[in-house]
Amino acid sequence: MTSTDATDSTDGGIRKIGVLSMHTSPLDQAGVGDSGGLNIYVRELANSMANQGIDCDVYVRRTKREHPEIVEIEPGVNIIQIEAGPLGLLKGDLPAVVDLWTQGVADRLERRPVDAIHAHYWLSGVAGHHLKHRFDVPLAVTFHTLGRIKSFSGDAEPEDRIRAEDAVIGCADAVFASGKVEADQLDSFYEIRRDRIEILTPGVDHTLFSPGSSHSARKAIGLGDYPILLFVGRIQALKGLDLAIDALAASQHRDARLVVVGGLSGHQGLETHEDLMARVKRHGLSDRIIFVEPQPHHLLPNYYRAADVCLVPSRSESFGLVALEAAACGVPVVASDVGGLRDNVLDDVTGLLVDERDHKLFAAAVDKLLSAPEMRHDMGTRGVERAALHSWDAGASGAIEVFRRLMSRELVTCV
Ligand code: UDP
């Protein structure tokens, strides 16, 4: 028996997970378009699970002609492209091809059986729900963002999505939350039994993200000797780059610069970009903001190491990998006091949480840190210690345990 032969498993254990990531692929560049934390999460978790003997078939929608049908990214981790709709379909049009994509995945699962399904984001949740019933296997879902929570924080989501999430949550055997705060949100915004919520804290690749000389990092990426604020991620309204720009304008440190690493995202990406550019111009900040195109994940450590403070001013966030990566590199974080960032950033210990969307409060937090090198150093040290507790290997072990438990109990049925 091979380790990929899921149906032949005789020990009642788990051999292979079918990972569903319909709307974005681990093969895509993170930090632009629809690719971000989810891509990193799926890739890192799958790699760590495979290292622990659990193979992962990761199903994505084909968006590029050049990829072969199956791309092995690590031994035991295969990315499988399923054709459904035109290659360049926008995210907003994906609900119309979910059924087609699900059928494509089902055809492959007939030939490549899995013991359980792990779906990412609500679109894959819808597919996973169908496949769970068809193949009689447990379904776990990580939503990454949830419609009701986004709507609550001012980014209204369509009713169709919210209804679909309700149906998936109603039948999921487990829903993974990134920490206690997201678990509490799931509990209060959705009808879900608490014992079906499992905590899977995302990790960070410590072989990449570690402290290092700020001077060398700045030299390597062409930055000078001035206070540096860093923003890393997709540029869309949800991420709050507007607040970071306004905070820079309000900072007393007139020599500080804001480095922005990432690209446009979402159907309003261009609009957001124009608004941000107008804001930069209005504040007269053109020579104090440095826009850097999205960087391959492994090139990011130098950006973190170069920074004095990392800004994460999101409107809502299920976890915020960027905050953890900054901490792992010894950089204090100034973040909004929302969602998973509350689990991720320890206020006054690894950074500062700002509880209102007020640029003056963000500027005050930034100024507090820029004026106090010792505080920055202490928070950086605490951040490294804290980040050391979060690894993808630990996340994968926890997830495997959950899947083992799900295999040994009756599947949840639709009400
Ligand atoms: N990222 C990257 N290159 C970039 C910008 C971002 O690899 O140019 C990665 C970043 O390191 C992080 C992820 O994209 O791992 C963003 O995750 P986060 O949870 O912060 O935000 P999300 O995209 O999930 O909203």
The CA 314 to ligand 1 mean position distance, Å, reads: 13
Coil vs helix vs strand at 66: coil
Give the C-alpha separation, 373 to 74, whole Å: 41
Using a 6 Å cutoff on CB, does residue 292 contact ligand 1? no
Please compute the mean of the pLDDT values over residues 242-261 and round it to a whole number.
98
Q: At what angle do helices 269-282 and 241-250 cross, to 10 degrees?
A: 0
Cβ-contact 221, 303 below 8 angstroms: yes
Where along the chain do its domains lie?
3-203+392-407, 214-387
The CA 4 to ligand 1 mean position distance, Å, reads: 30
Using a 6 Å cutoff on CB, does residue 294 contact ligand 1? yes
Tens of pLDDT, residues 161-206: 999 999 999 999 999 999 999 999 999 999 899 999 999 999 999 9
Using a 6 Å cutoff on CB, does residue 18 contact ligand 1? no
Tens of pLDDT, residues 376-400: 999 999 999 999 999 999 999 999 9
Using a 6 Å cutoff on CB, does residue 300 contact ligand 1? yes
pLDDT value of position 32: 84
The mean pLDDT of the chain is: 94
Give the DSSP H/E element, type plus range, for residue 336: strand 333-336
Cβ-contact 39, 25 below 8 angstroms: yes
β-sheet bridge partners, residue 260: 231, 291
Give the C-alpha separation, 50 to 45, whole Å: 9
* 247's tokens: 């905070």
Q: Which of 38, 209, 300 to mutate to test the pocket of ligand 1 (most atoms within 8 A of CB)?
A: 300
Give the DSSP H/E element, type plus range, for residue 160: helix 159-171
Using a 6 Å cutoff on CB, does residue 262 contact ligand 1? yes
Cβ-contact 319, 178 below 8 angstroms: yes
Amino acid at 97: V
pLDDT reading at 7 higher than 70: no
Homologous superfamily, domain 214-387: Glycogen Phosphorylase B; (3.40.50.2000)
Please compute the mean of the pLDDT values over residues 31-45 and round it to a whole number.
93
Coil vs helix vs strand at 289: strand
DSSP states of 169-189? HHH-SEEEESSHHHHHHHHHH
pLDDT value of position 3: 39
Q: Which of 24, 39, 143, 232 to mutate to test the pocket of ligand 1 (most atoms within 8 A of CB)?
A: 232
Using a 6 Å cutoff on CB, does residue 31 contact ligand 1? yes
Which class for 395: exposed (0-12), middle (13-18), buried (19 or more C-beta within 10 A)?
Answer: buried
pLDDT value of position 152: 87
The CA 297 to ligand 1 mean position distance, Å, reads: 8
Instruction: Choose among 107, 11, 23, 9: nearest CA to 62.
Output: 23
Please compute the mean of the pLDDT values over residues 38-55 and round it to a whole number.
97
Tens of pLDDT, residues 297-307: 999 999 999 99
Amino acid at 268: Q
pLDDT value of position 153: 80
The CA 41 to ligand 1 mean position distance, Å, reads: 10
Give per-residue burial for 262-271: e unless 16+ CB within 10 Å, then b: bbbbbeebee
In ligand 1, the atom with minimum distance to the C-alpha of 239 is 25
pLDDT value of position 173: 98
Cα distances (angstroms) measured from residue 244 to each of 52, 140, 272: 40, 35, 14
Using a 6 Å cutoff on CB, does residue 326 contact ligand 1? no
Using a 6 Å cutoff on CB, does residue 310 contact ligand 1? no
Using a 6 Å cutoff on CB, does residue 232 contact ligand 1? yes
pLDDT category at 5 given cuts 50, 70, 90 is very low
Using a 6 Å cutoff on CB, does residue 40 contact ligand 1? yes
Using a 6 Å cutoff on CB, does residue 280 contact ligand 1? no
Cα distances (angstroms) measured from residue 291 to each of 207, 379, 392: 26, 26, 30
pLDDT value of position 26: 95
Using a 6 Å cutoff on CB, does residue 233 contact ligand 1? yes
Give the C-alpha separation, 26 to 36, whole Å: 9
Please compute the mean of the pLDDT values over residues 13-40 and round it to a whole number.
93
Q: Which of 32, 40, 235 to mutate to test the pocket of ligand 1 (most atoms within 8 A of CB)?
A: 40
pLDDT reading at 1 higher than 90: no
Pick the residue whose CA is nearest to atom 13 on ligand 1: 37
pLDDT reading at 150 higher than 90: no
Instruction: Choose among 125, 67, 130, 122: nearest CA to 91.
Output: 122
Cβ-contact 156, 58 below 8 angstroms: no
Give the C-alpha separation, 99 to 84, whole Å: 9
The CA 105 to ligand 1 mean position distance, Å, reads: 27
The CA 31 to ligand 1 mean position distance, Å, reads: 5
The reply to whether 214-387 shares the fold of 3-203+392-407 is yes
Give the C-alpha separation, 324 to 380, whole Å: 11
Give the C-alpha separation, 53 to 399, whole Å: 13
The CA 310 to ligand 1 mean position distance, Å, reads: 13
Tens of pLDDT, residues 8-24: 443 458 999 999 999 99
Please compute the mean of the pLDDT values over residues 127-150 and round it to a whole number.
96
Domain 3-203+392-407 falls in which CATH fold?
Rossmann fold (3.40.50)
Give the C-alpha separation, 105 to 92, whole Å: 21
